[in-house]
Chain A
Amino acid sequence: MTTALASPLFHPPEEGPLLRRALLAAVAVELLVIGNMAFFFRQEKPQSPSIPPMQLALIAPEPAKVIPPPPRPAAQPKATPKPMPKPVAKPLPRPISQPAEAPRPATTAPSPLPAAPSLPSPVSAPPVQNANPVKSDPGPREDRAGEGQYAGRVASEIEKHKVYPASAKELDMTGDVVLAYTISRQGSVVEASILKSSGFKLLDETALKALRASRFDAMTAGLWPGAPSKTFTTTVHFALDD
């Protein structure tokens, strides 16, 4: 069979014509499979988890919070004027109801309570996502996008410390652990617990260890403003190659 190696397909020479047909069939099937794959691949583009678009209506409730503590805004006269022009400019319906008042805040920038007159009546406060009584100033607008990103970073940080303990692998321990933990504004974990056990103490403890080894960023002002800390839940899946 010395000719076998010379033939690029290493096939016995006596099956020449059959070989060509077989190869054509094989190539055709492969092209068909590749074609199908390309079709599927083109069709579906992975959607990155999107943060729900900010609803402009949600900006409306802020002034409602602002009303109780007058002294605070006095301390931050600089901060307040900045966000003001925006809400005023965008919500076109509002000027209809309070046309006279809308432009005023823009012109009287240093005024401590410009936000209040601009949005008192037209929008009755829609249910507030964050019901924490606001101790902080009305200034920092809740940064929904930032909150989503912070939550993402929290999960990534814990993931960096993930490990599958050798004993667990050895014994085929698998399962899901749901962690509940509270992160302070400064970024430290003030509380951590197992909300739902995986059924294995080893896996539960490994998940907690990963959490405790994590270092989180401090929360910027726009993240859950007014809250001294924030509670998160994370599900950790432990699975073996199966």
Chain B
Amino acid sequence: MKHIVTPRAIVKAILAATFIGPVPALADDPVKTDDISVFGQKETRQVLTMTRSELSEAPPGYSPLASLQKLPGVFFSSSDPLGNYEWASRFSIRGFNQNQLGFTLDGLPLGDQSYGNNNGLSIGRAISQENISRVSVSEGASDTGTASTSNLGGSVQFFSVDPKNRFGVTLAETYGSANSSRTFLRLDTGDMGAHTKAFVSLLYGRADKWKGYGPQSEKQLNAKIVHFFGESKITAFVDLSRRDESDYADLSLDSQRRLGWNWDNYAPDFQRAVNAARGIFTGGVTSVDDAYYFARGLRNDELAYVNANLKLSAIARLDTTVYYHHNDGQGHWYTPYVPSPSGLPISIRTTEYGISRGGVISSLVAQLNNHQLSAGFWYEYNKHQLARNYYNITSGDINAYDHFLSNPFATAFLQQFNTTTWQFFAQDQATFFNDRLKVTLGVKSPHVNIDASSLVGNRAAGSISAQRGLLPQVGLNYQLTPSENVFFSYAQNMRAFQPGVSGPFSTTQAAFNATSGSLKPETSQTLDIGIKTQRGNFQASLDAYLVNFDNRLLSISQCAGILGCPSTLANVGSVHTRGVEGAFQWSPVQDVTWYNSLTYTSSKYQSDYLDGTTLVRAAGKNVVDAPRLMFATQLAYEHAGFFGRLGAKYAGERYYTYTNDAKVPGYWLTDLSTGYRLRRVLGLQELRFQLNITNLLNENYWATIGTNGFVSSDPQGQFWTLQNGAPRQVFGTVSGTF
């Protein structure tokens, strides 16, 4: 008699192993059918979303903003390979720089993204890149409920991953060029009972600078716990971040010609720096600003939020988040302009930041027939402290001063700012003709008030407000054919004034008193029209837009940027931006995806302005740091656990003066990623290998411009405000999940 292991026996064994709860009476030999997969796509109004799987193909630690580069209208530059170095990383959408966009994490505001943070922090400090579940970009009209008072040109919303359903420990180890290493460890509890699950992750990353001397390192802890009850959920998230970044030198077109692409600050050659401070220059150096001994940025952040997403009834949902953020920051610059009491001609000049802010964001959404109504508010109270101090040094040992310094021998200024933000919004999203037509009408009303006091020095004190009664937004989305969708949107936005080192209070009291009354916040009007198509394995979008930007504020440097004399906030009139952008994605054969995007933007100043007594002829000139033409292409292959991806991005030339008499050329940047994932091997749930190469073709190129700000004119190319991009860097990663 033949004995065959029957399906029945197998099913019974499986059931015995996986079964929870009272035994259901099964008829004999149940037949196991194929599995069914239900895949939920988070529906957002924006088309441009990048998911975890795509973000994970970049080198671990790669800035998610850098990952967005391939999207139309998006420009990113940085002088470090991973895009994390804050002094020289820049992100822009359609010519709007990162100070003019809104950034949120799980709805929580990340604030203005200036280097000198006054009300927020960079995404890299808020959450470990490995814990980001997706990024949504909205260009032009962003949701009226976005918690930001800077989103003139759109917003970028980050979302964190939820803890996994299953218990597991993940350890990932990366090694790469410039002695870079990254260790990421994460513990997922799985369902702990009572519908609650959590994760904790630890991250330590460090690298040498790719040129020059000094480390760039970060330590980070993330923890998240979620609890479900019915169709409601409570979430709590905590982030601790410690960052220490050694700075690269800022170059000028002229200094690069004299000193080369690998020119950097003098460290560890302290003698050379001391000589330069005394006016003794060697080896092609002709100015005390060609390089400094050393500089670094220290940032300590703590961030936490609690969110309750409650189903109030079959038609209403309430989403409320309470958050808190605390930051201490110090930027160190070994300045040759102020001698130390020790007798050395160099001292450490700091800019010291403190942020303590807390807030509430709440929205109520109700579905009434074909209308989705939502309304809510955002409130934030932010205390920001800003100081400039000078500290004594007795040697060139940079490790002796790699911490938060205290007991300065001099203080240039000390200011405190209390900023109160209220923003209300209301929106109706209605669908008609069986969901074919979607109309969105929204309105938001921001009210921001800053009270500043000046305790030391001669920077300004006083109060300034920025508010708008109603900022409207209209959006239309029409399903023209089953495959084609046309959309239109119009939005008005405002950017509130910022406290801090480069806001309206960074000028003298006299200048503030004279201008604050007439200073207007920046406002914009954006018109967007486009068409999207999806036919089988081909999707494409084409978009045309028009932006009128009024009361544009510019901080004009009046001396070498790093010397930090009070900048002057000027209202330079309007900027008009016209552009067209398109992208398509095509799968010619199974497992292969080809993506291309093309952007053409013309962004021009509309008026001349007065700088002191000089008339700056900016009218008709191109906006600084906004490439006119951009192109991105990416070829990806994925099959059975293996993936390979080759991408290239072109950015056209950019100007760094308002009169357009100085520019940097366009460049191509190529990168390669490849990896392999094995499931259930060696006792692990998953084992992954990954290889990433950034700047594959080892291009020398000007990456970030305007690190020290922009000036009206620089015909000889002598203004040190440029940084070149990193050469080819290779990263290898092994990660295992137990």
Contacts and interface: CB of A to CB of B under 8 A. Distances in A.
A220 interface: no
Interface stretch (A37-45, A93-101, A107-115, A135-143): A37-45
Interface in A217-237: 229-237
A234 B18 contact: no
Interface in A121-170: 124-127, 129-132, 147, 151-152, 154-155, 158-159, 162-164, 167-170
Interface stretch (A71-79, A81-89, A193-201): A193-201
A58 B373 CA distance: 64
B637 A33 contact: yes
B29 interface: yes
B591 A37 contact: yes
Contacts of B42: 169, 240-241
A155 B309 CA distance: 34
Interface stretch (B20-28, B78-86, B242-250): B20-28
B134 interface: yes
A125 B162 CA distance: 54
B407 interface: no
Contact of A242 (B53, B639, B644, B653): B53
Nearest to A229: B27
Contacts of B631: 10
B33 A233 contact: yes
B39 interface: yes
A216 to B, nearest CB: 11
Contact of B639 (A5, A44, A167): A44
A29 B672 contact: yes
B40 A168 contact: yes
Interface in B251-284: none
A195 B19 contact: yes
Interface string B131-163: 001100000000000000000000000000110
Contact of A196 (B19, B34, B191, B592): B19
Nearest to B163: A172
B637 A147 contact: no
Contact of A37 (B2, B19, B28, B592): B592
Contacts of A131: 28-29
A225 B635 CA distance: 53
Nearest to B650: A10
Contact of B39 (A151, A196, A239): A239
A11 interface: yes
Interface size class of B (residues with CB under 8 A): 35 or more
B37 A233 contact: no
Nearest to A198: B165
A162 B20 contact: no
A237 B19 contact: no
B421 to A, nearest CB: 26
A239 B52 CA distance: 13
B31 A151 contact: yes
A123 to B, nearest CB: 10
B32 A232 contact: yes
B518 interface: no
Most buried by B among A4, A195, A202, A229: A195
Given A41-B639, A151-B33, A195-B19, A238 B40 contact: yes
Interface string B41-72: 11100000101110000000000000000000
Contact of B31 (A36, A164, A232, A236): A232
Given A10-B652, A167-B231, A193 B31 contact: no
A150 B697 CA distance: 55
A44 B33 contact: no
Contacts of A126: 1-2, 4
Contact of A239 (B31, B38, B309, B665): B38
Contacts of B191: 199
Contact of A236 (B28, B38, B228): B38
A199 B165 contact: yes
Given A26-B648, A154-B33, A242 B52 contact: yes
Contacts of A124: 1
B456 interface: no
A80 B133 CA distance: 62
Contacts of B642: 40
B666 A172 contact: no
Contacts of A44: 639-640
Contacts of A10: 629, 631, 650, 652, 666
B635 A33 contact: yes
Interface string B174-191: 000000000000000001
A12 B36 contact: no
A174 interface: yes
Nearest to B696: A29
Contacts of A182: 27
Contact of B26 (A22, A30, A180, A240): A180
Contacts of A158: 36
B590 interface: yes
A239 B32 contact: no
Contacts of B535: none
B41 A1 contact: no
A240 B42 CA distance: 7
A239 B40 contact: yes
Interface in A1-47: 1, 4-5, 10-12, 22, 25-26, 29-30, 33-34, 36-37, 40-41, 44
B30 A232 contact: yes
Given A10-B629, A10-B631, A197 B27 contact: no
A59 interface: no
A49 interface: yes
Contacts of B21: 197
B403 interface: no
Which 7 A-B pairs have CB atoms at the shortest separation, nearest pair first? A164-B40, A155-B33, A231-B30, A231-B27, A167-B231, A171-B233, A37-B637
24 contacts: A1-B666, A22-B697, A33-B635, A33-B646, A37-B639, A40-B637, A49-B34, A126-B1, A127-B6, A129-B29, A159-B36, A164-B40, A168-B231, A200-B228, A232-B30, A232-B31, A233-B11, A233-B33, A234-B36, A240-B39, A241-B40, A241-B41, A242-B51, A242-B53
Interface of B: 1-4, 6-8, 11, 15, 18-21, 24, 26-43, 49, 51-53, 133-134, 161-162, 165, 191, 195, 226, 228, 230-233, 309, 311, 317, 589-592, 629, 631, 635, 637, 639-640, 642, 644, 646, 648, 650, 652-653, 665-666, 668, 670, 672, 696-697, 699
Given A168-B231, A234-B34, A241-B40, 6 more contacts: A11-B666, A22-B699, A126-B4, A154-B33, A172-B233, A242-B161
